[in-house]
Amino acid sequence: MGGLDLFSATTPASPEGGWSVLDVTRRARQLVESGFDRIWVRGEITNFKSYRSGHWYFTLRDADAQVRCVMWRSDNERLKTSPEDGTEVFLEARPTLWEEKGEFRLTVRRLIPTAAGGLWQIQLERAKAALARDGLLDPERKRPLPSYPSRIAVVTSLDGAALRDIVSVIGRRWPAVDVWVVPTRVQGETAENEICVALDRANRLENVDVIIVGRGGGSAEDLWAFNSERVARAVAALEVPTISAVGHETDVSLTDLVADARAPTPSAAAETVVPDRAAVAGALDAIARRLGRSLTNQLEVGKERLQRMTDRLTTAALRHVERRERRLERLAAKLEALSPVSVLARGFAVARDESGRVLRRVADFPPDTEFRLSVSDGDVRARTLGGET
Amino acid sequence: MTKQRPSFRKEVERLEAIVRTLEEKDVELDEALELFEEGVRRLKDARALLEESELTVKRVLEAADGTLRTKTLDD
């Protein structure tokens, strides 16, 4: 483009040949556009405004300067969300000048937030792929969390809100535990290394039932250590079930993907990790009721068995008694046949003297002796008339 | 390091086993009574564990020789 040539060739030398304002701004635009290629620039967004037309207008600034920007709808509609004021971004833009306003500005083609985007995003995707290749993201790897932990290791910062939240939730729901904090920095340059060391310590502790690793919410940059492949591998190497709780509801980190369970916040992790005391007290009551009922049933079964035995015993005894009774009857009949009473019934009589002695011979009957004569229905008084007949 | 807390899980698991035996099996009466008494005892222990409200929070430190120890957390 011959902007410079044009400019120098037609510079008005006198008031009469003076340019219109538009002549100036148009030529300035040509100068600006010919002086820059497409560039990448980094800064913070302010005064963001999205017009009804769909075009975006905002200012990009850093500590030292600022510049107006426009991003046409055809370019910004590829983005999922619009940036907020304060967002730090990389812009691919072309410097230009708005002729009508004489305003220098950037026409933005691409916009990438520095936190979620750029190299970090690429690095995260690579790490995820590497973990997946090694099978560390397989759902079968996930272990169930213990129902009633006695000792919980927490890998987090000593002065973060995360630890306070976890301790407060556990204290309310299930205080019968030891909480062992393995302190580590959770953000900044040393965080990645420190978290790995702390995870290794947690792994070496004795009788730990479950591990919570995480931190409270923060900027994407603050949470970044939990997207490190090294930290994710250290989480995957833990020998006891682990729950990852990083940031707020919407943040999903690499450690969330390799841990046995993921909680949206540290408080939620604490809720997941211990049961609720009141609910468990209810469950114990239910067990107590079952215990009582089951014993009653066992006793009932015993009682029934006893009753059956008693019944059989009674039946057997009765049968025995009946048999005896019948036998007794038969014997009685036999006895009856032999009884002197039955002899009397047949017409015989027995004579006895006053003392009851049976008088058997003639000699027992001296004349004029009183004696009793027993016949079938009673006794008769009698007297001998004389001697032998 | 620190003494191990009695395991609530073990108490509850044993309780479940006792109740299941009593519910499902035809056990001798004296065995049933023994199981029942053990159940009552364990229920009492489990409830006592629930009542226990002392949450202990400690920090883990690593000594130069690599051994780990715990220290009470100063609030």
Contact present, A265 and A249 (Cβ < 8 Å): yes
DSSP A358: B
Under an 8 A CB cutoff, do B5 and A176 touch? yes
Q: Which residues pair with A21 in a beta bridge?
A: none
Question: Structure pTM?
Answer: 0.58
Distance in angstroms (rounded) separating the CA atoms of residues A254 and A234: 11
Chain B nearest CA to A273, separation (Å)? 14
ipTM: 0.80
Residue A110, strand partner residues: A92
Q: Which of A147, A180, A295 sits opposite B58 (nearest CB)?
A: A180
The shortest CB-CB distance from B8 to any of A176, A287, A302 is to: A176
Please tell me the predicted confidence (pLDDT) of residue A221: 76
Q: A with B: how many residue pairs have Cβ under 8 Å apart?
A: 109
What is residue A2's predicted lDDT score, i.e. its pLDDT? 40
Q: Which residues pair with A61 in a beta bridge?
A: A44, A66
Q: What is the pLDDT of residue A374?
A: 87
Are A201 and B68 an interchain contact pair (Cβ–Cβ within 8 Å)?
Answer: yes
Q: Are A297 and A196 in contact (CB under 8 A)?
A: no
Residue in B closest to A204 by C-alpha: B68
The predicted pLDDT at position B72 comes to 87
Burial A48-81, CB ≥16 within 10 A → b, else e: beeeeeeebebbbeeeeeebebbbeeebbeeeee
Is B43's CB within 8 Å of A291's CB? yes
> Do A82 and A50 form a contact (C-beta atoms < 8 A)?
yes
Question: pLDDT by residue (tens digit) across B10-38?
Answer: 888 899 999 999 888 778 888 888 999 99
Enumerate the residues of chain B whose CB falls inside 8 A of the CB of residue A165. none
Spell out the per-residue pLDDT of chain A, length 389, in tens: 444 445 554 677 778 778 899 999 999 999 999 988 889 999 999 999 999 999 999 999 988 999 999 999 999 987 767 888 888 888 999 999 999 999 999 999 999 887 655 556 667 778 889 999 999 999 999 999 998 898 999 999 998 899 999 999 999 999 889 999 999 999 988 999 999 999 999 999 999 999 999 999 888 778 889 999 999 999 999 999 999 999 876 767 899 999 999 999 999 999 999 999 888 899 899 999 999 998 888 888 888 888 999 999 999 999 999 999 999 998 888 887 777 777 777 788 889 988 888 888 888 888 888 899 988 888 899 988 875 55
In chain B, which residue's Cα lies nearest the Cα of A148? B9
| CB spacing of A179 vs B5 below 8 angstroms | no
Query: Is B48 a residue whose pLDDT tops 50?
Result: yes
Q: Do B5 and A178 touch (CB under 8 A)?
A: yes
CA distance A219 to chain B (A): 27
Give the full edge-to-edge strand order of the sheet including A370-375.
A350-352, A370-375, A378-383
The whole-number pLDDT of residue A386 equals 72
Q: Are A267 and A204 in contact (CB under 8 A)?
A: no
pLDDT at B75 over 80: no
